[in-house]
Structure 1
């Protein structure tokens, strides 16, 4: 029912548009290329025959596939984000299609290679159609795989009005990668009972718990003066920032040293000069209360580094990002159980999982709209070794068809 060739062409079309978010921008969306993709998607949805397609002033795209059943069923929202990570190159993305993957490492034109040792999931994908880049940029499968899946699903539903489903809201957001994916969504206007983000890795995984997350900015302010006359006058902010960075834990509480349910403090950006240096960190834990402990530790270390350099000044800011998905999903257990039932109906294995990150669903759930996260065939995300499995994308779309059928059997 799902058209794999059409799905592949959609995906290739979308990933060629560089929609990397810009964490330093004050605009929304943070990059105009997201609006470019939004316009493309809105045009395609209109061409499908949907009549309420909106590309709003924030470049968020919404539309509705009307119900095909008698009576009133819950409205289900399907959500993906158009932006991609700013943490890897994304200019001039050149997708490569590997048909009927035969196993082993995948050499890429840049000289890089996707290795089985680096991605053991490859062993399960013999015979799949895989999409990579040339190895010099990310692919953008996070989350254009989800975008393509939802778009192909929408067209499939329009073409097959015999498929039972209630109202289906299509939602494409911006700036998810920098924590602002749901900033411009009006949940009253969306009027959905449940939502699903199609933004997970692999196949058959239902993410039911995420990190809680805060961001932290430190600004070390010194005093710059010509080095020839700097004695007893220069206060070098780079020195304090460097001391602070060196004082952070090295063997624990870092992304490089944790897994499972362990949280971390992640130093990810230092920008500045003698007069002022800005340090950016993210704090992550499955226990929301642990975030304040991490923030206190960062602040204490920053104050110690500042005190070591007379005349240095420090500014600290903590920003709330999102909270653990599990807390809100408990209010609508069917959001998970029906997703599990849909996989069972299709004869496919599935598992619930925790995700060491966040999704638009984290914020949507916190705002009152229960939103689990579903697989979309992404692998090695945020990396020049990123790839996606078309076969897993097709399975995701077919799962959504069955899931929407199950929701249509509920009455409101």
Structure 2
């Protein structure tokens, strides 16, 4: 964006910073940025909510945008506006709130720009691509008074809310260990040569804050997760859901005393940069979080049920027993004989709509404390993933200054560089 264009955008943002005041019966006009797999899920979810209206879509890929527009038309009977640049959508005064379903490296800047334009934001997980970006997101959300919900939808599922409440009430005694399991089978991505940018794709806007590089199909669409420029590996993809639940179950723990993470990309010889096998331990003194990513063939652990070929969930261990939580429900085992004392099943229904409904309610109440996964909650859960990745990448255990959210001691100088990045103008966070 040119200097003059940026001035115009900021001027429009300032003029609209108070946003549209919603009445109790008003529908919230939603714009969705990023119409890939998750973006299409957002279209389907908002279409089920009576107090939401999808009025605009944005994607840097014209073909994806057109598919999304057709989907909205089919589901709602209305034709949403279409944009190739999110800044144009944010300047649309018909939009009250936006959903950000872009790749990870865009989450923070998209949220910041949207808040500055007077929009409330539902941002997919992980909240941020690095620790610095999360700090900026919280700062801007509070300064502008916008509602920012992170897509940790477990926080709005009744059975998981009940499970966490029981943990806090002492159902298994004092909890000393929380485990997050991301046992999600991932195939090899193979190899691909660079090629010309496909027609209808704005590659510059796709890369945004990331370094400019030639187009490569493996760095586009879903596989961007497995490259450090744009993704955070599976610990920051599926794993951040289980990291959030682990942190929640331990009473919203924040930065640990130390972190150590090991692993690697095993078996495959392909272009993926992030590990497909990773183990991380976060030391909190009287308790710890242990997180594990297994992207290859594996069995399960504890009570976590197999779903779609994957074992994904959480285990909590306490003085009097243990609890397992997964996508089917939760179970509580007590005593040395591990007697099953509770077996709660998930109620029917999709996971995302209740979380979106909570977001829309906060758009009306104007109180961020009504959000089940306010930006500060989502950022902290993402930050633990970033700490683990930093330890993995520098190859050592790291001490953490919990007050500053930065590493300290041996290895800190190198590791702290991974908690921010060099930004490509004008996409600076």
Whether the TM-score (by the shorter chain) exceeds 0.5 is no
Normalised by the length of structure 2, the TM-score is 0.24
| Greater relative contact order (CA < 8 Å, ≥ 6 in sequence) | 1
- In the superposition, the TM-score normalised over structure 1's length comes to 0.25
Give the greater-gyration-radius structure (CA): 1
